[in-house]
A and B are shown apart, each in its own frame.
Chain A
Amino acid sequence: MIEARGLGHRYTKDRWIFRGVDVTAAEGRVLAVLGPNGRGKSTLLRLLAGLAAPTEGTVTASAPVAYVPQSHSAAFAYSVADMVLMGRSRHLKAYATPGRRDRELAAEALERVGITHMADRSYAELSGGEQQMTLIARALAAQCRVMVLDEPVSALDLRNQARVLTLLQELAASGLGIVLTTHHPDHALHLADDAVLVLGPDDVRVGPAAELLDAGALGELYGLPVSTAVVDGPRGPRVTVVPDLGPARTALASEPPSDLASDPAADRAPAPAPALAPDPAPTSGRQEAPA
């Protein structure tokens, strides 16, 4: 568990990024941090992960915390196995190299994320989604109880977004605490139990995601009109956030939904569900999935 009390941070003397934030990240729960660019999302995340010390307030971690950066390129062509093995570094003496136990834990982490088959590939050659999975496996190898992720899906295409979100669901269901920043309110609605909205230095709201993430608050957060709508998703109805992106050039959405009926794919039963399916009822919290 990570408990932050009275958290405040500033980089220059005269400007607080935020103040007086109380937030708890518990094991088995997903906490999403939302806010516009430059409002201090990532700073808050780094404080929670223990990467930086807050200007005021306290961060107490009662369980091992691991930080997962945005997927990035490595300067050298390390193998995926070695990247994951680096998660063990905290547990090694300065002059030591990983031993058998460390390799076992790294192998378990690869297995858990489902990327064992990529172990010998070069991390540099992976897609963004695969890199993100590798970094998540690296955090698991560190035997963390709470995982703190900086915009884990920002650079990913839709399919990889789904892969990573499904994996995070699974990890939370197995008892891991998840903290993430995101630019997608939809993802927060889909995934999170709790949310933090960083509206301004003195206005940081913390609460259950289902209550906090309404059209009014999101519109205020991003400074543009936002509405929510219930749509017919592939797994049933769900709430989606519809921001006002300006006048639309293409009017695809105006096609009547009767088109769907003629699409043979629509008649098919839903694809064989992965062991841990995304939650069909987005606002009611995470689905209980087998660990």
Chain B
Amino acid sequence: MTVSAPDLAAETAETAETAAPEKAARRLPRLPLLVAGTLLVALAALALGRYTVPPNEMVRLLAGQFLPVGETWTAQEETVVLDVRLPRVLLSLLVGGALALGGAALQGVFRNPLVSPDVIGVASGASFGGVLALLLGLGSFAVVGGAFGFGLLALAVVMLIGRLNSGSPILMIVLGGTVTGAFFTALVSFAKYVADPESELPSIVFWLLGSLATATYAKALTAAVPILLGAAVVLALRWRLNVLSLGDDDATALGVPPRLTRGLLLCAVALMTAGSVAVAGLVGWVGLVVPHLARLWAGSDHRVQLPAAFLLGGAYLTVIDTLSRTVTAAEMPLGILTAVIGAPFFIALLARSRDRMWSQ
């Protein structure tokens, strides 16, 4: 048997031809484009609704808040745009961004593209907190506080379960999240069961279906603090998330402490999720669908994918929320629309991009 020395140069030269120089062209202009697109969506959402404000009036109206512009708009238009729609659009940008960014971060942390913020049980915990406040008739401030508190409680439980078996922390966190989520979902069912079917039950059901209909600036601010704080942490760790997604061994070898990094990211995602549920109820699917869209658009590198997910998530939820208040006379709950639109959309995404988005 004669084996000549491997001709390394020839083989490498072959593959050189097939390498596509697509990366540099792909990366740079995407985020600014996305920022512009998201702003456009937000402006359109401000103009649209049962009371349509002409675009030029709307732009003048917004500019008039900061610049000396002649007042050509009516007081009614000003109320609709500034007091009703603007806080709502701000909320949908924040909540959609938070859910999508949270989903994208968790998909990286768990190295699994089928993960969304629901898997760590925080959303279920937060929803129970809100339901409990509604059941006890404590008012909207308590709903927000309860959702937030129980969301973080759920995270603490999941982290504790994760410590039970130090050998496979990721598996334990996923299992812990599933168990914790199921536990709080059962508590929510119990709360519904004992709720007064005339008064409390409808408010619980509507809140759980998710809605931004009662948006105010106070709510927007309440959501903005935890969401922006969590988003800042996640976005700051965007490079480390790349390393962490290679596995704990690789991360350790590359100087990124896996437990600490993962813990920080989970806390940040829990903060964002709890903040979202507190003001908007349970809005599913955004955290699963949008990260895939972001990966398709911006690639797997979390440096670009994470900000893209935040922007896309905001735009996506703003579009859906605008649909929910314009398509039918009676407003459609958000949670229903995100699922009805999200599910087929997700399947289409899977069919299109299975090979490019992740590998097994």
Mask, B135-162, CB within 8 Å of A = 1, is 0000000000000000000000000000
Q: Which residue of B5, B19, B253 contacts A274 across the interface (Cβ within 8 Å)?
A: B5
Q: How far is the CA of A97 from the CA of B301 in the complex (A)?
A: 11
Write the nearest CB–CB distance from A211 to chain B, whole angstroms: 28
Contact call B6/A76, Cβ cutoff below 8 A: no
Stretch from B86-94, B120-128, B238-246 that touches the partner: B238-246
Quick one: given A89-B255, A120-B23, are A75 and B359 in contact (CB under 8 Å)? yes
Q: Which residue of A73, A86, A120, A268 contacts B242 across the interface (Cβ within 8 Å)?
A: A86
B15 lies within 8 A of chain A by Cβ: yes
- Could you say which residues of chain B place their CB within 8 Å of the CB of A138? 254
Write the nearest CB–CB distance from A241 to chain B, whole angstroms: 17
Mask, A109-133, CB within 8 Å of B = 1, is 0000011011111101100000000
B65 lies within 8 A of chain A by Cβ: no
Q: Which residue of A75, A120, A268 contacts B19 across the interface (Cβ within 8 Å)?
A: A120
Q: How far is the CA of A91 from the CA of B255 in the complex (A)?
A: 8
- Could you say which residues of chain B place their CB within 8 Å of the CB of A121? 15, 19
B360 lies within 8 A of chain A by Cβ: yes
Contact call A117/B15, Cβ cutoff below 8 A: yes
Assign chain B's interface to a size class.
Answer: 35 or more
A90 lies within 8 A of chain B by Cβ: yes
Mask, A69-86, CB within 8 Å of B = 1, is 100111111110110001
Q: How far is the CA of A271 from the CA of B4 in the complex (A)?
A: 6
Indicate the member of A121, A260, A277 with the most B CB atoms within 10 Å.
Answer: A121
Q: How far is the CA of A277 from the CA of B2 in the complex (A)?
A: 17
Partner-B contacts on A (CB < 8 A) = 49, 51, 66-67, 69, 72-79, 81-82, 86-87, 89-92, 94-98, 114-115, 117-122, 124-125, 138, 142, 158-159, 162-163, 166, 234-235, 260, 263, 265-266, 268, 270-274, 277-278
Partner-A contacts on B (CB < 8 A) = 2-9, 12-13, 15-16, 19-23, 108, 111-113, 236-240, 242-243, 245-247, 249-250, 252-256, 295, 299-301, 303, 356-360
